[in-house]
A and B are shown apart, each in its own frame.
Chain A
């Protein structure tokens, strides 16, 4: 039984990311498309708003607004990636979409290590910040990809 492939998607062009990774992946493999909502910025906003004169944290109305934006963006990114996978000939029945919340690097590694998931390969872009024009050299690998390479027990395919 072959193991699953985990695609780590960010807000970048998801279709282009799949297109670049596809030549390295057999078409009969099961795919997990993962989008992690990074909760750090929202947490930082919570700390900031505590200190303002009228602040007692982010209001529930604003929190709901931010969460809706995150959820809809995550769904849009995963749909783009899913459609591209199907266009390229991957079996729609073998494509699973997953949205998680937290630190992206930790969520990716946790999912890759989860025995229930049976992940054999993690596919990740080398840097969110510097994409899509990444030139090789020091600091060309971002902290999320570096963490995944350092901590993942399965193979990692790093896309430039």
Chain B
């Protein structure tokens, strides 16, 4: 009897100790997760986001919340995402060096006659096209400065045009799986074929793009009344780099092939990173071959120029940021936090498509503004995986997450709460900062677009 009591007491102590350890881990893991997100949002003392993310991921590893084997597994599973980012950024840098984006911006002006309204519409259409095949980053980061330079030369008010390109970059970013790296991140965890993707998201995407264009044409109607002098389009030297004709033609043909390959890869569920990296290789070879001919006798000038261009044009910290975030979110998944969040989302949705669409869209959109759409998409993905919604509800949550994380960042437009806080800090220090015109526009327009997307996603999910 005494022995049994001793064993029982010992067992009870072990169970209690185990529970205490779990509770401590839960607490520590939560603190690491929240602290990392705070560092990413506030970035005190200019701590870069990638360092904060990697620090959070490393802390999860060191505490044993994520094992090294699991970390290797998670990173290996997401090689597709890393490859896609690398290939895509290389393609964008090389396409810009060929003058591709500049040529498109000028084309928009040439097909506008002298009407600034038509130019505005053309810029939005070109922004849509670039976003669909080369992602929202290419539109916001490369097309926007070129459009700015163009409209300044045309002596038009640049702000409406900048609003147009940066908004459409997010609005058009769920037309195809390749239109936003977030889509690739979510679809790597939940593979869907292109037809299923299009069946759910094509109608919402088309409606939201049309809605964005119509709303902007109305909001900026006063700015777009004035005609411009078309002769100024040709007088502008404009191009970021001297354009080499043969390299430009090669790039246009290659981008056509890459776009087709993206569609085929999405249809047959090939990893999109293969297409992005293959496309980058195609352009790299073309760059070296066409420009080596031009620079014959000048040794490795083309090679050096290429290395410099890729070194500065590719955002290398993004790889550290995503790797850190993957480990961090794996940590909270191991602690059961994302499963609890997923169950809460399912309960909130009432377990129906009617509830799941707004819950996932609004949840991802608000979260993307509160933190950042990369960690938010990862948290949503983990929550869906861990809570395993039944039937078609999982698909609805996946597509809702894509819509919310893609479109949502436009609510605060200037880049989530992180930038908003940064701007407020600057203003407190007496620095003259932006009047936040973008924020005023985003807070009014994005909820309308989100509502349009929700209604359309309801229709396609029924």
Chain B residues with Cβ below 8 Å from A130 are: 222, 225
Q: In the complex, which of the residues A42, A52, A53, A69 contacts B238, with contact meaning CB atoms closer than 8 Å?
A: A69
Does B145 lie within 8 Å of A58, measured CB to CB? yes
Q: A66 contacts B148, CB within 8 Å?
A: yes
B157 at the interface (CB under 8 A from A): yes
> How distant is the Cα of A60 from the Cα of B141 in the complex, in angstroms?
12
| Given A48-B166, A50-B419, A69-B152, A55 contacting B434 (CB threshold 8 A) | no
Q: Are A47 and B437 also in contact (CB < 8 A) when A54-B315, A55-B140 are?
A: no
The answer to the question of A131 belonging to the interface, with a C-beta cut-off of 8 Å to chain B, is yes
- Having A47-B438, A55-B137, A55-B315, one finds 12 other A-B pairs with CB under 8 Å, namely A11-B152, A41-B148, A47-B415, A48-B415, A49-B140, A50-B415, A53-B137, A54-B137, A62-B145, A65-B146, A69-B236, A70-B152
Q: Is B416 an interface residue (CB 8 A)?
A: yes
- For the complex, is B164 an interface residue (Cβ under 8 Å from A)? no
Residues of A within 8 A of B158 (CB): 41
Interface string of B307-320 (1 = CB under 8 A from A): 00000111101100
Query: For residue B85, which residues in chain A have a CB less than 8 angstroms away from its CB?
Result: 53
Which B residues, 73 to 124, have Cβ-Cβ distances below 8 Å to chain A?
A: 85, 89, 92
On whether the beta carbons of B419 and A72 are closer than 8 Å, the reply is: no
A131 to B: closest C-beta gap in Å: 7
**Docked CA distance A43–B431 (Å):** 13
Q: Is the CB of B148 within 8 A of A45?
A: yes
> Residue B444 at the A interface, CB < 8 A?
no
Indicate if the CB atoms of A44 and B437 lie closer than 8 Å: yes
Evaluate contact between B141 and A52: CB separation under 8 angstroms.
yes
Return 26 A-B CB contacts under 8 Å, by A number.
A11-B155, A12-B226, A41-B162, A43-B434, A45-B144, A48-B413, A51-B409, A52-B136, A52-B141, A52-B169, A53-B137, A54-B137, A55-B141, A55-B315, A62-B145, A65-B145, A66-B145, A66-B148, A69-B148, A69-B149, A69-B153, A72-B153, A73-B153, A128-B157, A129-B157, A129-B223
Nearest B residue to A58 via CB reads B145
Complexed CA–CA distance, A40 and B433 (Å) = 8
**Total residues of chain B contacting the partner, CB 8 A:** 55
Q: CB-defined interface of A28-51 with B at 8 Å, one 1/0 digit per residue?
A: 000000000000111111011111
**Shortest 7 CB-CB contacts between residues of A and residues of B:** A51-B415, A11-B155, A62-B145, A54-B315, A69-B149, A47-B414, A69-B152
Chain A residues with CB under 8 Å of B226's CB are: 12, 131
Residue interface bits A119-148, CB-to-B below 8 A is 1, else 0: 000000000111100000000000000000
Question: Residues of B contacting A70 with CB < 8 Å?
Answer: 152
Q: Closest CB-CB distance, A135 to chain B, in whole Å?
A: 13
A81 to chain B, nearest CB (A): 13
Q: Per-residue CB proximity of A90-128 to B under 8 Å, as 1/0?
A: 000000000000010000000000000000000000001
C-alpha gap A130/B237 in the complex (Å): 29
Q: Which residues of A contact B222 (CB under 8 A)?
A: 129-130
A50, A60, A73, A129: the one within 8 Å of B152 (CB): A73
| Chain B residue at smallest Cβ distance from A12 | B155
How far apart are B65's CB and chain A's nearest CB, in angstroms? 26
Assess whether A68 is interfacial by the CB under 8 Å rule: yes
Min CB distance, B363 to chain A, in Å?
20
- The answer, yes or no, to whether B423 is at the interface (CB within 8 Å) is yes
A89 at the binding interface (Cβ < 8 Å)? no
Query: Is B240's beta carbon under 8 Å from chain A?
Result: yes
Among B136, B137, B223, B226: residue with most chain A CB under 10 A: B226
| Bound-complex Cα distance A60 to B158 (A) | 19
Residues of B within 8 A of A62 (CB): 142, 145-146, 240
Q: How far is the CA of A117 from the CA of B223 in the complex (A)?
A: 33
Per the bound structure, the CA–CA distance linking A73 and B153 in Å amounts to 6
Please give, as numbers and ranges, the residues of chain B lying within 8 Å of A61 by CB-CB distance. Answer: 240-241, 312
**B242 contacts the other chain (Cβ, under 8 Å)?**
no
B198 contacts partner chain A, Cβ-Cβ < 8 Å: no
CB proximity of A69 to chain B, nearest CB, Å: 4
Interface centre among A44, A60, A62, A68 (most CB of B within 10 A): A44
Per the bound structure, the CA–CA distance linking A43 and B435 in Å amounts to 10
**A59 in the interface, Cβ–Cβ < 8 Å?**
yes
Shortest distance from the beta carbon of A141 to any chain B beta carbon, whole Å: 14
CA distance A45 to B143 in the complex (A): 11
Which residues from chain B contact A68 at a C-beta distance below 8 Å?
149, 237
A77 contacts partner chain B, Cβ-Cβ < 8 Å = yes
Given B140, B156, B317, B437, which contacts A11 in the complex, CB threshold below 8 Å? B156
- Closest A residue to B415 by CB, please name it: A51
